[in-house]
Each structure stands twice: as C-alpha cells, then as structure tokens.
Structure 1
Amino acid sequence: MQPMLNIAVRAARSAGDLILRSTDNIGHLQVDQKGKNDFASEVDRKSEREIINIIRAAYPDHAILAEESGAHKGNEFVWIIDPLDGTTNFLHGFPQYAVSIALKVKGRLEVGVIYDPLRDELFTARRGGGAMLNNRRIRVTRQSGMKGALIGTGFPFKTAAHLDAYVGMFKAITTDSAGIRRAGSAALDLAYVAAGRLDGFWEIGLMEWDMAAGVLLIKEAGGVVTDFSFNDKYIESGNLIAGNPKMHQIMYQLIEPHVTQSLR
C-alpha cells in the first residue's frame, strides 16, 4: 500500500497548496449553501478536482467517494475525499482546517492522510504500519481518567434533532474533564487524538469523508473507535467515540445514558 499512500500524500499536499494560495482571496470566493450551516466554496471544489486528477492519473480504475462530487464508479479500491474539512473555519479565516484522504479496499480502511496546510503537518497511516506525523511515529495518550483529560467534540450544528442528547453528553463529560475543545474540523480532531494532543473525541452526525482517514490514524496509533452502541457501525450512523482504550471506555460509560434510540 506504500505507493498508494505516496499518491494520497502527493494529492493532499497539492490540494493544501491550492488552499493556502486562496487564503488572501477569501472575501471574493463564490460560496454555495448546501444545507443549514453547510457551505461549499469554489476552493472546496478546486481542491477536490486536484485530488481526483492526481488519483485518477495513477489509478484510473479506482472508485472515488468525494464530499462535493459524490460517488465515482470504479473497482473495489475506493478513495474517500474531504477536500477541505473545516470550510466554515476557512471562510472566516479561522486557522483550523485540513485535507483528508483515505483509501478503502473491499470495505477495509488501508490508507489515511490528513494534511494541515497552515502548520505543514502531515498525518499518515497504513493498516498494520502505524501512524505518523511528519514521518515521526505517534501514539494515543496514556490518560486513564477523566480528571485532567482534554476532550474534543463537534456540535450537531446542522440539525437540532439531537441537541438535547448532545447537551446531556456534554454535561456528563465536562463535569470532571480538564476541558472540552470544539475547533471545527473533525478530521484534525481525530488526528489530534492519534497524536496524543486530545485524550478523546466524540461527535454526532459525521459523514464518511469526515472520519475515514482519522479513524485509521487512531487505530494505528493504538486507540479505539466505536459508535454509540460500542459497535463498529460509526460509518453508517455517523456517531463516533474515539480515544485510548481506557478513555474510550470512560467516555462510552458517560455518553451511553444520553443516547436516544435514533442515535443507536
């Protein structure tokens, strides 16, 4: 899988360069609203085209699932692309966004890349090959309790349907933790769990392209990822808990009492 990881890295860096070149022109960008609090800029679309062109040049028969252009037919190799995770942050000049690319083969994640162009931080993972940050091995934290833990999250901002459940989860976790951070890019939050910058993370309503690369990073860094029912259906449900094994267990125990039937 190393050649495919190399292609993912090349595509992520190229898209990141394109994003950086656009930061001085944010006020003049064309922005479309896809749904409530859900935006796409022309930079999202250009970044996605750049990634797809690089992948297609190397692997023309591979399938693609991309946030902006949807599913592109191909074989059992599926590239999962979020060309700019944290678009709202980008449009406001808030410095927390990234490119996320994953490769799934016959339903199993094999390669994951998350690139933060502002900090030039490249998070990479291969199944069975560990997780890296700029070619240095990374691991999840050894935090063993909520006291002193720093936890990441994302608000369910696209719909109010699960807001009450989320508030209950938030209260349960914030009571004893050192703090909760909501930075606005799930891909980077997951990468930060893998790198030991966050002790855990949870969110409601993610899409596959938001989480695919980050999930592989966390698993290869020694962490655990499940849905709210302690199963592996997070891709299907969009609901995710992640952390080192101990913190994941603690977070699950705190979150589970607030999980409604529609979130299972």
Structure 2
Amino acid sequence: MTKHPFNAAEEWQKLKNGIRQLAKQEILPRFEKVGFEEKQDGSLLTEADLEMQKATQSFLLQNWPQFAFLGEEMSQQQQEDALKSTQGCWILDPIDGTSNFASGIPVYAVSLALMIEGRLVAGLVYDPDRDEMFAARHTLGAELNDKPLIAKTAKTKLKQTSGIIDFKRLTPELACRIIHDNPYSSQRSFGSVALDWCWIAAGRGHIYLHGAQNIWDYAAGYLILHEAGGQSCTLDGEDVLLPKVQKRAAVAATTPELFQQWHDYLQI
C-alpha cells in the first residue's frame, strides 16, 4: 500500500470536511449569480472556478505541503510540471460541469484526487447541490457520505441498461451506430464527467461512454468507480488512467458482467 496521510481516518475526514466547506463557501453562493467567459478551447470559466481553485490550493498547501498541485485553471506547462513531482500531486477540477453551473443547471461537482508515483491513492467528488460526497482510497473501498459504496445493479443485460453517453466527442461512425442500434433501454448525458463516473458506481446509470476527458475530469471518479467494483477501459482497450495532460476516452460499467457486454458491443 502506498504511504500517504489519508490512510488515517482523521486526516481523511479532515480532507473531506475541508472540501465540503470550501464548496459551500465559494461555489454555492455564486450559483445563478455569476457570469462567465469562454476559454481558448471553447469551455467556460466563471469566478467560482477561479475562487474555488485558489481556496482549495491554499487549504491543501496549508495542511499537506509535501504534494504538488495541478488545477484545471493552470497553464499546461504548470500542470505537466506538477505531475512530475516525486512526492505526489493533487489533481483538481474546481467545478466539473462549468457549462451547467453557468447555465443554472444544478449538475456539477468538485473533483479532487491525489496521485503518487502514477497511482491514484485518494479521490473525492463533492456535489454541493445534493450535498453528496463520493470518495475512495486505494484498496480501502469507495463511499458515499461516509457509507460504503458498492457498484451493483439488478440489470444483467445490456438492453436493460441506462447508458450515460456523451455523443459529442465520439467519431461520427460510432455515434451513428449506437443511435441506430439503440443497445440500451435509455440514454442520458449530464454534462459532468466526475459525476458520470460516480453515478455509474452508484447504479444511477449502468454503462458509460465518453470520447475525450482530461485527467482532472476523470481522476477521482475513476478511482471511486474501481474501488466500488466497477470496470473501465478506453476505446482502444487501454487503462483510462494515464498520468499525463492528455485526453482519454472512457468506457465503463457498473458490474463486470455489463462491462463485458458493453466492451463486446463496442468491439474493443
């Protein structure tokens, strides 16, 4: 087991409580009250993103200064340098689902993970609107609001599932095939990658497909799903987790049985 402070229950609770408090302080009061600007990549940025990142970085530095820090609202060079830290690196998306947040849609979350030597050792995704804290530590399982989270569903066939599918970033060929075949019972797209992973872990959706997500989008959710018992890979059959600032496709499911069926359908 990789050594880190969050194997200790007291430090783990301190981290979760701190992120919850910061989100309530920096994000919730600004919901439906702030404007936004468009970044170079076309994504949105609000005052809440910047203030939450600043406050979180300060909180982490004050309590666990040994770890480097990677935030979404940093330059790519700064992000890449942080990932090279031999001590470990925090990976933060201050608001995953900024487009929803800026539009007054209450589907967004704070995503924070700790990576040491290329391995995710701790992660949490906090949904301020629902006051739901999804969290996980490597080999210690996943949790939702301090109760064990186990990925399970009564669905056993692909055709019975609810799919969380982001069509925008898929190839036209794959998107059209899925639309034509309709291999699931129903389909959703929520606009928050971090919550997508967590909701698959919680059985709120059963299969997942997204064509391109950044490490700050998926890191915490990836750990939570896998610690809960779910499975994932890329469209090329590789591990989604890659300790680089590089977009990754994600294929996932709540149970191994459904994952195999989804994997086979996608011809991975």
Query: TM-score w.r.t. structure 2 length?
Result: 0.86
User: C-alpha distance in 2, partners of 1:169/1:133?
Assistant: 35
| Residue 239 in structure 1 maps to residue 246 in structure 2 | no
User: C-alpha distance in 2, partners of 1:114/1:121?
Assistant: 8
Per the alignment, in what secondary structure is the counterpart of residue 200 of structure 2?
Answer: helix
Go from structure 1 to structure 2 and tell me whether the alpha carbon gap of 1:156 and 1:176 turns closer, same or farther (over 3 Å shift). closer
User: C-alpha distance in 2, partners of 1:176/1:210?
Assistant: 26
| Residue 150 in structure 1 maps to residue 162 in structure 2 | yes
Matches of residues 110-149 of structure 1 in structure 2 within 5 Å? Answer: 110-142=121-153, 143-149=155-161
Q: What code does the residue aligned with 1:239 have?
A: A
Structure 2: gaps of 5 or more residues: 1-5
Alignment counterpart, residue 25 of structure 1, candidates 20, 28, 33: 33
**1:125/1:220 contact within 8 Å kept:** yes
**1:177 maps to which residue?**
184
After superposition, give the CA deviation of every residue in 1:78-121 in whole Å (9 maximum; x if it has no partner): 11100000000001101100000001111101101000000000
User: C-alpha distance in 2, partners of 1:35/1:93?
Assistant: 22
**1:53 maps to which residue?**
58
**1:48/1:66 contact within 8 Å kept:** yes
User: C-alpha distance in 1, partners of 2:146/2:66?
Assistant: 29
User: C-alpha distance in 2, partners of 1:180/1:216?
Assistant: 24
Structure 1: gaps of 5 or more residues: 258-264
- Residue range with higher mean Cα deviation, 147-156 or 83-92: 147-156
**1:202/1:242 contact within 8 Å kept:** yes
Per the alignment, in what secondary structure is the counterpart of residue 35 of structure 1?
Answer: coil
Per the alignment, in what secondary structure is the counterpart of residue 259 of structure 2?
Answer: helix
Query: TM-score w.r.t. structure 1 length?
Result: 0.87
Go from structure 1 to structure 2 and tell me whether the alpha carbon gap of 1:34 and 1:170 turns closer, same or farther (over 3 Å shift). farther
User: C-alpha distance in 1, partners of 2:12/2:206?
Assistant: 26
Go from structure 1 to structure 2 and tell me whether the alpha carbon gap of 1:7 and 1:168 turns closer, same or farther (over 3 Å shift). farther
Shift of 1:169: 5.2
After superposition, give the CA deviation of every residue in 1:45-71 in whole Å (9 maximum; x if it has no partner): 101111111100012231111100242
User: C-alpha distance in 2, partners of 1:237/1:45?
Assistant: 22
Shift of 1:151: 1.2
User: C-alpha distance in 2, partners of 1:192/1:253?
Assistant: 22
Matches of residues 1-264 of structure 1 in structure 2 within 5 Å? Answer: 1-3=6-8, 5-17=12-24, 18-26=26-34, 29=35, 31-70=36-75, 71=79, 73=82, 74-142=85-153, 143-156=155-168, 162-168=170-176, 170-171=178-179, 175-235=182-242, 236-243=246-253, 244-256=255-267
Shift of 1:166: 4.2
**2:215/2:247 contact within 8 Å kept:** no
**1:7/1:54 contact within 8 Å kept:** no
**1:169/1:254 contact within 8 Å kept:** no
* Identity across matched positions, percent: 29
**1:8/1:101 contact within 8 Å kept:** no
Per the alignment, in what secondary structure is the counterpart of residue 99 of structure 2?
Answer: helix
After superposition, give the CA deviation of every residue in 1:5-60 in whole Å (9 maximum; x if it has no partner): 3354134213321110111413xx3x221135411111101011111111000122
Go from structure 1 to structure 2 and tell me whether the alpha carbon gap of 1:37 and 1:192 turns closer, same or farther (over 3 Å shift). same
Go from structure 1 to structure 2 and tell me whether the alpha carbon gap of 1:69 and 1:237 turns closer, same or farther (over 3 Å shift). closer
